[in-house]
């Protein structure tokens, strides 16, 4: 079997509302997730007698601490056998940015190895394994648009417009999900909790809806990472109709009705370790959601 390459797309949280803290220590949330074209690249080579892992980013080179290896171990336990594959992870999605890179890598590993090695796990089984790896890993098994509730594992598919453009900026400051949620501002009512959400959000109403979106984690993270506020302001100055932090940060994004200026990196007003990306929303052929 020849080696294969698979893309693991980043996500943005178009809206994220924190509804309260759960007895298990997690938070109940309602968030609209969208895959974008920014991606990592995973290469799977099956011409090997063991498992190995390598990464283009030396900081992520330890196999046992990487979510890719954890996904492999979860598959091995479920399948009842060792998996022989050499995985190389080419990183492009910044880590600790709220873009879901590690979760995307894990989900792609689950799905690809199940298919290519004939493990026979049903979509429901893969979603169960994904939820055990992280709250947002199940989303990356979907077609790329979803309303996520609970701690993020309860998913409802959406059909949202994708005829807009995205700019993402990462200030080089890593924020853990724990730190982000520890300072969360709670929303008193759930504006996304109605499961008919995707029915009434039409292409005609999308522009108005996106302008009203917010991320309840943004204000708390910005206290210790002022770059978040600066990044959101810069996006709006560039013409974004909506700008916010994604996930628990510290990356920010802007939604643009027209293509993002080609010289956006040169026009970015802040120096330092900022990384600026242009992207577009994307849909993929995902697994059916468990009923």
Give the strands of the sheet with 165-170, arranged side by side: 242-245, 252-256, 165-170, 275-279
**Does the annotation mark 136 as catalytic?**
yes
How far is the CA of 100 from the CAs of 22, 31, 134, 237, 255, in angstroms?
22, 14, 10, 26, 18
Specify the pairing of strand 51-55 against strand 85-90: parallel
Q: How many CB atoms lie within 10 A of CB 257?
A: 12
Q: How far is CA 285 from the centre of its chain?
A: 16
Q: Residue 195: what pLDDT?
A: 52
Q: What is the pLDDT of residue 19?
A: 86
pTM of the model: 0.94
Measured distance CA(101)–CA(4) in Å, rounded: 19
- pLDDT given for residue 178 in this prediction: 80
Q: What is the pLDDT along the chain (291 residues), one digit of tens a residue?
A: 789 999 999 999 999 999 888 888 788 898 999 999 999 999 999 999 999 999 999 999 898 899 999 999 999 999 999 999 999 999 999 999 999 999 999 999 999 999 999 999 999 999 999 999 999 999 999 999 999 998 888 899 988 899 999 999 999 999 888 888 887 777 766 677 655 566 667 778 888 889 989 999 999 999 999 999 999 999 999 999 999 999 999 999 999 999 998 899 999 999 889 999 999 999 999 999 987
Contact call for residues 139 and 106 (beta carbons, < 8 A): no
- For residue 150, how many other CB atoms are within 10 A of its CB? 16
- Active-site position among 40, 136, 179, 227: 136
> 86 CB contacts (<8 Å, ≥6 apart)?
44, 45, 46, 47, 48, 51, 52, 53, 54
In which region does residue 144 sit, left (phi positive, over 0), alpha (psi from -120 to 50) or beta (all else)?
Answer: left
Q: Is 21 a catalytic residue?
A: no
CA dist 123 to 20, 128, 203, Å?
Answer: 30, 9, 30
Nearest CA-CA partner of 56 in 45, 70, 42: 42
Residues 6+ apart with CB under 8 A from 204: none
pLDDT at residue 215, rounded to an integer: 94
| Domains and their CATH numbers in the chain | 4-157 (3.30.230.10), 165-279 (3.30.70.890)
- The residue from 11, 28, 40, 216 that is catalytic is 11
CA distance 190 to 19: 7
**Cβ count within 10 A of residue 14:** 25
Q: Residue 179 has what pLDDT?
A: 82
Residues ≥6 apart with Cβ < 8 Å to 183: 217, 219, 220, 221, 223, 224
């Amino acid at each position: 079997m020849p080696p294969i390459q698979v893309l693991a797309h980043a996500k943005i949280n178009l809206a994220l509302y924190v509804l309260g803290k759960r007895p298990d220590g997690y938070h109940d949330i309602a968030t609209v997730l969208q895959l974008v074209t920014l991606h990592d690249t995973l290469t799977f080579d099956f011409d090997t007698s063991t498992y190995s892992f390598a990464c283009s980013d030396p900081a992520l080179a330890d196999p046992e601490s990487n979510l890719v290896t954890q996904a492999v171990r979860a598959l091995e336990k479920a399948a009842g056998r060792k998996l022989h594959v050499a995985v190389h992870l080419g990183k492009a999605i910044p880590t600790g940015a709220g873009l879901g890179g590690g979760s995307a890598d894990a989900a792609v590993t689950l799905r690809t190895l199940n298919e290519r090695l004939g493990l026979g796990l049903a979509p429901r089984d893969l979603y169960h394994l994904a939820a055990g790896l992280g709250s947002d890993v199940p989303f990356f098994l979907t077609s790329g648009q979803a309303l996520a509730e609970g701690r993020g594992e309860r998913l409802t598919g959406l059909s949202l417009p994708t005829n807009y453009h995205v700019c993402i900026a990462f200030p080089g400051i890593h924020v853990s999900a724990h730190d982000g949620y520890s300072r969360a501002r709670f929303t008193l009512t759930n504006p996304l909790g109605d499961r008919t959400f995707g029915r009434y959000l039409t292409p005609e109403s999308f522009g108005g809806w996106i302008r009203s979106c917010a991320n309840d984690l943004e204000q708390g993270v910005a206290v210790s990472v002022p770059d978040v506020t600066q990044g959101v302001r810069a996006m709006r100055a560039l013409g974004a109709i909506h700008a916010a932090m994604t996930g628990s940060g510290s990356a920010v994004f802007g939604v643009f009705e027209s293509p993002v200026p080609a010289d956006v990196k040169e026009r970015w007003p802040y120096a330092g370790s900022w990384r600026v990306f242009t992207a577009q929303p994307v849909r993929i052929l995902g697994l059916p959601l468990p009923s």
